[in-house]
Amino acid sequence: MIIERLREYVGAETPTGDAAALNAFADRLATRYAGLGATVRRDPHPTGDHLIADFPGRGPRAEDAPLLFLAHHDTVWPIGQLQDAMPWREADGIIHGPGVFDMKGGLVVLETALEQVAGQDRRPVRVIVVADEEVGSPSARALVTAESKGVYAAFGLEPPHPNGDLKTSRWGSTRVRIEVTGREAHAALDPESGVSAIDELVDQLIAVRRIVAEHDHVLCNVGTITGGGRTNVVPGAAAADIGFRFVDPSTEEAVLAAVAALHPVRDAQLQVRVMSNRPAWQPSSATDELLAKVAAAGRSVGQEVGGAAASGAADTNLTGWLGIPTVDGLGPVGKGAHAVHEQVIAASLSERVALVAAILTSL
């Protein structure tokens, strides 16, 4: 049943930004959650709706603070990836397919665990499924912040570490766009009248590298560059999207302030915009205590559960930064997130279901 449902979910391709595909998948989840007794709400956005499902508690803990589970239904893969390059495949206990690891496997784990604990005493549960996590959740930050208030703890359904360990902190992640407006001119007949937006952008990217070099533990990746059109025209526009990763908030603040203060080196216009931001989630005693409780829940179902820091970012960055006890990585074990060899270990699906069910009934 778990594998069949995962195949169903992987078969419904949901690239970030494809509102029709994402909303159709959200409809599917909403129906499932409502069937399990949840009150389901939608947070609509042009790029796809976010889903909020509140499951009532039962027994002596019915009025306790809820457990929050964070997930997303968008993937990095375009429509057609399943047919063209990454067909669903099961072989030697391994399942392959687009989104199987990041993170439809996690969605199936949570849903199955909720089915298993139906009727048992437990806290209320709140589930948030985000539609644009793969681009930094720019439209979901306010939602996650608001819906996190008053929860007992937060859990992420992202992939775990390769050995199955959970994630107990994350680097901060910020996407910045640098846009340059120059002035077009004929590149041979009147080059002095032009201002090359591409030349200006190159100089700005060099300046960004100098800023990053002044700080320890900062990752910087220029992910995309656009600009110009013809070699005989001085380019009038250019832009670059940059991904930054920060280990601590003070470094993040210093680097972003310096990048925001960049100024043109020629007669061009420069705009620096933050496209999305996830603050650094640092280690804390609250998370250590939560991990100990999760480890105890794991031992109750015959599993040894560990935890370690992670460099990648996710929506749990926000709950951890807000001071909410948080752990992530409850999805199935596998590898290849954002890669054509994306895969999960089939046996880890049921193992993760057992762990999440134990968390639901013991915390």
Q: Domain check: are 206 and 154 in the same one?
A: no
274 and 287: one domain?
no
Q: What is the pLDDT of residue 84?
A: 86
**19 lies in the same domain as 119:** yes
User: What integer pLDDT is reported at residue 1 of this predicted model?
Assistant: 86
Q: Using CB atoms within 10 Å of the CB of residue 188, give its burial: 0 to 12 exposed, 13 to 18 middle, 19+ buried.
A: exposed
> Collapsing DSSP states into helix, strand and coil, what is residue 352?
helix
Domain limit, last residue, from 256, 278, 300: 278
Which strand (E) or helix (H) includes residue 95? strand 94-96
Q: What is the pLDDT along the chain (363 residues), one digit of tens a residue?
A: 899 999 999 999 999 999 999 999 999 999 999 999 999 999 999 999 999 999 999 999 999 999 999 999 999 999 999 998 999 999 999 999 999 999 999 999 999 999 999 999 999 999 999 999 999 999 999 999 999 999 999 999 999 999 999 999 999 999 999 999 999 999 999 999 999 999 999 999 999 999 999 998 899 999 999 999 999 999 999 999 999 999 988 999 999 999 999 999 999 999 999 999 999 999 999 999 999 999 999 999 999 999 999 988 999 999 999 999 999 999 999 999 999 999 999 999 999 999 999 999 999
- What's residue 50's pLDDT? 98
Tokens 């302030």 -> residue: 257
Tell me: do 108 and 201 sit in the same domain: no
Torsional sign, CA 136, 271, 186, 192: negative
Q: Which pLDDT does position 40 carry in this prediction?
A: 98
Q: What is the CATH number of the domain that holds 179?
A: 3.30.70.360
Q: Cα(49)–Cα(26) distance, rounded to whole angstroms? A: 7
Do 16 and 102 fall within a single domain?
yes
Q: Are 183 and 193 in contact (CB under 8 A)?
A: yes
Q: Tell me which residue range forms the domain holding 74.
A: 2-171+281-362
Q: How far is CA 204 from CA 184, 190, 210, 253, 261, in A?
A: 19, 25, 10, 19, 11
Domain tally, the chain = 2
Sign of the alpha-carbon dihedral angle for 105, 77, 316, 343: positive
Ramachandran class of 348: left when φ > 0, alpha when ψ lies in -120 to 50, beta otherwise: alpha
Q: Domain boundary residue among 219, 248, 278? A: 278
Contact 217, 311 (CB under 8 A): no
CA atoms within 13 A on the CB side of 315: 34
Last residue within a domain, chosen from 262, 278, 294 = 278
